[in-house]
Structure 1
Amino acid sequence: MSSTYTASITAPVNIATLKYWGKRDTSLNLPTNSSISVTLDQADLKTTTSAMASADFTKDRLWLNGEEDLQLSQSKRLTQVLSSLKEKRRLREAKDESLEKISSWFVHIVSVNNFPTAAGLASSAAGFAALVVCIAKLFELDDDMTELSKIARQGSGSACRSLFGGFVAWEMGSLADGSDSKAVEVCPLNHWPEMKACVLVACADKKDVSSTSGMQLTVKTSDLFQKRIDEVVPERFEQMKKSIHDKNFALFAELTMKDSNSFHATCLDSYPPIFYMNDTSKKIVKLVHLINAFYNETIVAYTFDAGPNAVLYYLEQNELKLMSFIYAMFKDLNGWETKYSTEELNKFISNYDSLKLQELSLDMEIVKGCTRVILTRVGPGPLTIKESLINEHGFPKN
């Protein structure tokens, strides 16, 4: 086999606190509103991607979670991303004749998620972020993450936000060519490291209506949608950035929950209506408001993407308060033992008893609508790793 170039990257999931929903240009993935997200720790949710370029390869190939995507050539978004990255490499080669002309080579890509794909857990965001950063490293591009975010956006809109850690904004931009629609850092990970998240996976099945088709239906048919993008989100965008800068959790939580409600209201206002939340999701909404009312302060916020899974944001200092409820009600799910010792879990239960929470007539059946819990926190952006998923011949190792 002739010379090869390889690279391996891990990229994170991000969960929006100010939702992106609706496109002004579907081919370029240009949004109708700006958005904000929290990048989650890759110890818990990540995509790992390895890529190899070789003059011996006869076509671009992709393996996702062990299965080859035989429709790769028909995936307009993926081929667009690859061609944009190859063009950037070609321009470098044109300026520096000493560089090997690998922009004309085909690439093999192997990608693995450590969470369910297409189940409302932002798998496409992590996947395209990993792919873009991995190929950029393979091609030895010197573009910064904001510049690369414009390419990641073409693959999956939310992917642009997974190019940064901490707290991230996707500025919608206004130019027709999308050159000002990009991700920027709001605050780094170390600004507010106390931010944690508890994901209650309500359903790991593939969703009925994809985000792409759901967005377009909302844009075409929802009366609420126009007010959301014209008035609600622009004001909220500035307020949420300020709440993060000021580390004002009460305001951050209120804006996060209101925006989740607003987003799902526009889905419900679409015709025919789109239901991403299910009965379990709605019960979790009620539970969060009950918890905040019980403590007479806002200690937890919910948000739901285009799926039924609940993401609960809270600060580390309020963990005992929150988990006295959540662990008592969801202790039968997998995921607790990897994060807490038996002593810590017992402390949650004893606090549940001492607070006499059983007197609140909590819906203890709610756990039956969930499959697992993922406990995580704010985390870093894409990371370079040494281990490769690709063998020396350009195929998946496993």
Structure 2
Amino acid sequence: MEALAVTAVAPVNIAVIKYWGKRNVELNLPTNSSISVTLSTDDLRAITSVAVSPQFSEDLFWLNGELQNLIGSKHINCVNILRKERALLEAADPGLKKLSNWKIRIISENNFPTAAGLASSAAGYAALVFSISKLFELDLNQTELSKVARVGSGSSSRSLFGGYVAWQAGNLENGDDSVAVEVAPVSHWPNMRALVLVISAGKKSVSSTGGMQRTVGTSTLFPARHLKIVPERMSQMEDAIRAKDFGSFAKLTMCDSNQFHAVCLDSYPPILYLNDTSRAVISFVHYFNEYYGAVKLAYTFDAGPNAVLYFLEEDSAQVLSCLKPVLPAAKIPFEVDEGPSGFCFDAMDMLKIGITDIVYSRVGPGPEVVETSLFAPGDKFVPITATQR
């Protein structure tokens, strides 16, 4: 069988200035700009294999082993945008294979819970768009690809870059200026670390898209956020990243997370993503910073109860030692002693019960092509089974 295939991995990104609210739902155009940190694909990633062949009779897509309906989906919208780009190359060079007319098979997997507030769709769409762009040999840079990924998932535009990334809201109605750009590469501030605290791996009760539109339509606090506060914080956060000023980075990250959840609570009916364990994490972080007399630890929460803690590599032992009593012992990345005897946070029991898993990570690069394939050996181009891996 004549076929071409590519596999790529793409990272999770965790916003420190949050995207919340759409000015155009169909195009995924945001009401405000946002900034995120890309986490290493060694720890959290989506991996996607794509193949095209003139012998395929239909487009097929498997997500985490389950066959999906592609008709009218955002996934096929992204595929078709890239097919049009490939068709332009084929029109300019008649010698190229007509890959734009061939049907496609897609297999995608995440190594973390989908739809649990861990930016699974961001990594997935970034991997999809990046892998197809390589398969089609498109001459599109990461910013141009971010426009395509954005059609699938807004925050996926930021997963096309490594390091520290801004997604610019833009002003044009067609979305051509709503793109992701690099704020700083991994090499600029490589000692940023992240600890994901998994509090719930279940699907959130209110989807991000549904929640955003509820907030836009009902929150009286929201206009001040997207018109005044976020633009100011965008500038301040970019300055903090460029200056490698962790204190400012941390305070901005926590304040923006708090305000994001405040506008969710101000929506009607209210959107309640955080739970008691989430709130205990917030209290823990402020206690930790007060105990050590400096802002060394920051929290942020996306649309779900799971926390992401940011800190610098040089403070990792302190952070992990104070959290050691509540973390799954097997998941702690290196040996640490118990925290100081005087460190007496009064809700440790709640954290121990509520934190079910952790992922220790660091700032990392953007998508890349890999040799591993999710297709089973042979020419059938179906998902590989557990025994074949």
Distance 2:375 2:91 in 1: 29
Taking the aligned partners of 1:332 and 1:34, their CA distance within structure 2 comes to 36
Q: Matched residues, percent identical?
A: 52
Which residue number in structure 1 is paired with residue 19 of structure 2?
A: 20
Counterpart residue identity of residue 73, structure 1: I
Correspondence list, 1:224-239, <5 A: 224-239=221-236
Q: Which residue identity is paired with 2:343?
A: L
CA apart distance, 1:246: 0.1
* TM-score of the superposed pair, with normalisation by structure 1: 0.94
**Which residue is 1:274 aligned to?**
271
Residue 249 of structure 1 deviates from its aligned partner by 0.3
Distance 2:40 2:191 in 1: 12
What is the correspondence of 1:86-97 to structure 2 with a 5 Å cutoff?
86-97=83-94
Alignment of 1:101-120 (within 5 A): 101-120=98-117
What corresponds to 2:51 in structure 1? 52
Residues 1-398 of structure 1: matches in 2 within 5 Å? 1=1, 3-69=2-68, 71-75=69-73, 77-328=74-325, 330-332=326-328, 334-336=330-332, 339-340=333-334, 344-345=335-336, 347=337, 349=338, 352-353=339-340, 355-358=341-344, 360-391=345-376, 392-398=379-385
Asked if the contact 2:327/2:357 (under 8 Å) is kept, the reply is: no
3-state DSSP class of the match of 1:73? Answer: coil
Q: CA deviation at 1:58?
A: 1.4
* Amino acid of the structure 2 residue aligned with 1:131: L
What do the CA deviations read for 1:164-189 (whole angstroms, capped 9, x no partner)? Answer: 00000001110011001000000000
The amino acid of 2:70's aligned partner reads L
Write the distance in 2 (CA, Å) between the matches of 1:357 and 1:20. 35
CA contact (8 A) 1:113 1:123 kept: yes
Once the two structures are TM-superposed, the CA of residue 362 in structure 1 deviates from its matched residue by 4.6
1: CA distance between counterparts of 2:305 and 2:347? 20
Distance (Å, rounded) in 2 between the aligned partners of 1:278 and 1:334: 25
User: RMSD of aligned C-alpha atoms?
Assistant: 1.1
1:264-302 per-position Cα deviation (integer Å, ceiling 9, x unaligned): 001000000001111110110011000001111000000
AA aligned to 2:368 is: L
CA distance in 2 between counterparts of 1:74 and 1:210 reads: 19
Does structure 1 retain, via aligned residues, the 8 Å contact 2:328–2:356? no
1:324 CA displacement: 2.2
Q: Give me the TM-score of the superposition, normalised by structure 2.
A: 0.97
Question: Shift of the alpha carbon at 1:309?
Answer: 0.3
C-alpha separation in 2, matches of 1:331 and 1:363: 10
**Structure 2: distance between partners of 1:361 and 1:8:** 47
Conservation of the 8 A alpha-carbon contact between 1:334 and 1:372? no
Mapped contact 2:277–2:350 kept (Cα < 8 A) = no
What is the letter of the counterpart of residue 62 of structure 2? W
State how many pairs are aligned: 383
CA deviations on 1:342-387 (whole Å, 9 max, x unpaired) are xx23x2x1xx24x4224x5453332111210111110110011012
Could you tell me whether the CA contact under 8 Å between 1:333 and 1:373 is conserved in 2? no
SS of alignment partner, residue 199 of structure 1: strand
Determine if contact 1:201/1:372 at 8 Å carries over to the other structure: yes
Partner of 1:50, secondary structure, is strand
Please say if residues 36 and 168 of structure 1, whose CA atoms lie closer than 8 Å, have aligned partners that are also in contact. Answer: yes
Deviation of 1:393 (Å): 1.8
Q: Which runs of 4+ in 1 moved over 4 A?
A: none
Give the unaligned 5+ runs of structure 2: none
Displacement after TM superposition at 1:202 (Å): 0.7
Q: Distance in 1 between matches of 2:328 and 2:25?
A: 42
| Aligned counterparts of 2:316 and 2:220: Cα–Cα separation in 1 | 40
Are 2:204 and 2:304, in contact at CA under 8 Å, matched by a contact in 1? Answer: yes
Checking the alignment, whether the CA contact within 8 Å between 2:327 and 2:358 is kept in structure 1 is no
Q: Is the 8 A contact 1:333 1:367 kept in 2?
A: no
Distance 2:318 2:135 in 1: 46
The one-letter amino acid paired with 2:67 is E
Alpha-carbon separation, structure 2, partners of 1:32 and 1:58: 40
Contact 1:333–1:372 at 8 Å: present in 2 too?
A: no
Structure 1's unaligned 5+ residue stretches are none
Structure 1 counterpart SS, 2:348: coil
SS in 2 for 1:181: coil
